[in-house]
Structures are given as C-alpha cells and as structure tokens.
Amino acid sequence: MTAPDSTILIDDVPVPFKPGQTILEAALEAGVFIPHLCFHPELGAHGSCRLCNVIVNGRNISACTMKAASGQEIEVDTWLGESAQAYRRTLVQMLFVEGNHFCPSCEKSGNCQLQALGYDSEMMTPHFVEFYPHRPVDASHPDVLLDLNRCILCELCVRASRDMDGKSVFALAGRGMASHIIVNSPSGKLGDTNFSATDKAAHVCPVGAILIKRVGFAKPIGQRRYDLEPISEEATPRREVEEAK
C-alpha cells in the first residue's frame, strides 16, 4: 500500500503521488519546491497565502488544496509560457508592505520563511507604498513574545493551538484590512492564557511574530537555516522551526 500508483507532471517532470495527497504534498515529498507560507505538514492546507498558486490543466489553483490526480499537467515556474516568478514576487511584496517587516534588527532573519521567499522570488524592493501600520507587541507572557508587526495572517498559530495543543489561544478577528490575531483571554493578553513555550503553537510561526523570549541572536550569521541553503533547496516538507538555545 506504500508504492505510489500514479504520477503527475510538474513542469514536464513526472512526480509520483500517493492517493489522498495534494499537489503540494506530493511535490515537496519528491523534492520539488513550490513556494508556500500557510501550509504545514502537520496542520494541512489553508489556501490563504496564494504563494503556492500553480496552473493545473490551464486553470489557477492553490497546490496546497488541490488533490493530486493522474493526468494532471502542472505548471509551477512558467505559466502559459510566462515566468511565474513575477506573480509570486508581487504577493510577497504585498505581504512585506502590509506589516512592519524590518529584517535588519529582527532575530528571525535568516530563519524566516517570508524573507526566504523574498530572496527566492528575487524581490529587490517591496515596490508598493509602505503601510507602516501601528501594530501591538504583547510581551505579557513570561516566555513567549507576540509581535504583531510581523504577522502575515497565515493562521498557523490559530490552527496549531486549536487542533494540536487543544487550547485555542489564538483566533482571527476583524474583516478585510482590519483582520488581526487576537488572544483568548479576558484581558486579551497572552500572559493571561494557559499558553506555554512548549506548545506546538509557539513553534509554528513562519515569521518573527511568535518568538521564544531571550533567544535573540544566539545563532551566528552563517549558521542560520537559510544561510545554509536557500528555501528552494529544502528537500523535505517544512520542518518545525528549531529555536536555538
């Protein structure tokens, strides 16, 4: 029951898949990189970031939600003859200008998926007018910092806390431009919840919005995850980010 019984074509290369896998899961398992932010192997698909958009038999779909099926012809790097990189770059640019993503003094730099996808899509400038929003920082928890300047609304923390930790510490509130993460306590502060630094939700954030405190810049430049290899070379599905201690 473990042998794959079919293949899909990704940029003209046959890729095996198991029944029930999505295109993204099959691709990552085969070492084929499709950019993504809101997908996590243990939490499944969300379909919100749109970075994994591909063309399947001529139609735009998110690779994380579409189940792989025999006969699919999938375009990842070129869409209908055009380079797809510029479209992905635009998505990354929009994410950058919406928050306050100041890489130079952010401890997630070098370990950050958003930054790594910026490099991967050769984003040289955020291009759009910067929002410079005023976003809260919640340091009330003794061990975990919540810095919403960097939140990209992927809801990995919401899903992990609900489905894996059984705690439902985080939720998304508001609509449209006003959407934001909120904390499940009467005060709205993380320190007033039963959140713990050992929760799965404390380790799934792809950017620097949820951080274990007092780790900072312990990992030297040159030894950070994306110093060692670019995100596109990651052969296995996204590993849990290890917080250095």
Find, among 73, 61, 132, 74, the residue nearest to 102 by Cα.
132
Binding residues for other proteins restricted to 21-50, rule: CB under 8 A: none
Nearer to other proteins, 76 or 145 (CB): 145
Q: Which residue is listed with tokens 């699919």?
A: 72
Q: Which residue is listed with tokens 């300047």?
A: 149
Region binding other proteins by CB under 8 A among candidate stretches 5-13, 28-36, 156-164, 210-218: 210-218
Cβ(79)–Cβ(55) under 8 Å? yes
Tell me how far, at minimum, the Cβ of 95 lies from other proteins, in Å: 13
β pairing state of 73-75 and 6-10: parallel
Q: Give the one residue of 96, 113, 159, 201 binding other proteins; rule: CB under 8 A.
A: 96
Q: Give the one residue of 175, 221, 236, 239 binding other proteins; rule: CB under 8 A.
A: 221
Tell me how far, at minimum, the Cβ of 210 lies from other proteins, in Å: 13
Residues 146, 213, 197: CA angle, nearest 5 degrees: 80
Tell me how far, at minimum, the Cβ of 242 lies from other proteins, in Å: 16
Residue 110: other Cβ atoms inside 10 A: 20
Q: Residues with Cβ < 8 Å from 214, sequence gap 6 or more? A: none
Q: Does 107 bind other proteins (CB under 8 A)?
A: yes
Size of the site for other proteins (CB under 8 A): 44
Region binding other proteins by CB under 8 A among candidate stretches 30-38, 48-56, 77-85, 96-104: 96-104
Q: How far, in Å, CA of 101 to CA of 88, rounded?
A: 18
Tell me how far, at minimum, the Cβ of 81 lies from other proteins, in Å: 20
Q: Does 77 bind other proteins (CB under 8 A)?
A: no
**What does the block give as tokens for 204?**
């799934």
Distance of CA 218 to the CA centre of its chain: 23
Region binding other proteins by CB under 8 A among candidate stretches 53-61, 62-70, 137-145, 168-176: 137-145
Q: Give the one residue of 12, 70, 176, 214 binding other proteins; rule: CB under 8 A.
A: 214
| Mutual angle of helices 85-98 and 113-120, in 10-degree steps | 140
Q: Does 139 bind other proteins (CB under 8 A)?
A: yes
Tell me how far, at minimum, the Cβ of 2 lies from other proteins, in Å: 35
Find, among 25, 26, 51, 28, the residue nearest to 38 by Cα.
51
Q: Does 145 bind other proteins (CB under 8 A)?
A: yes
Q: Does 100 bind other proteins (CB under 8 A)?
A: yes
3-state secondary structure of 134: coil
Cβ(152)–Cβ(37) under 8 Å? yes
Residues in the site for other proteins, rule: CB under 8 A?
Answer: 96, 100, 102-107, 109-110, 115, 118-119, 122-127, 129-130, 132-135, 137, 139-140, 145, 186-187, 191, 213-223, 230
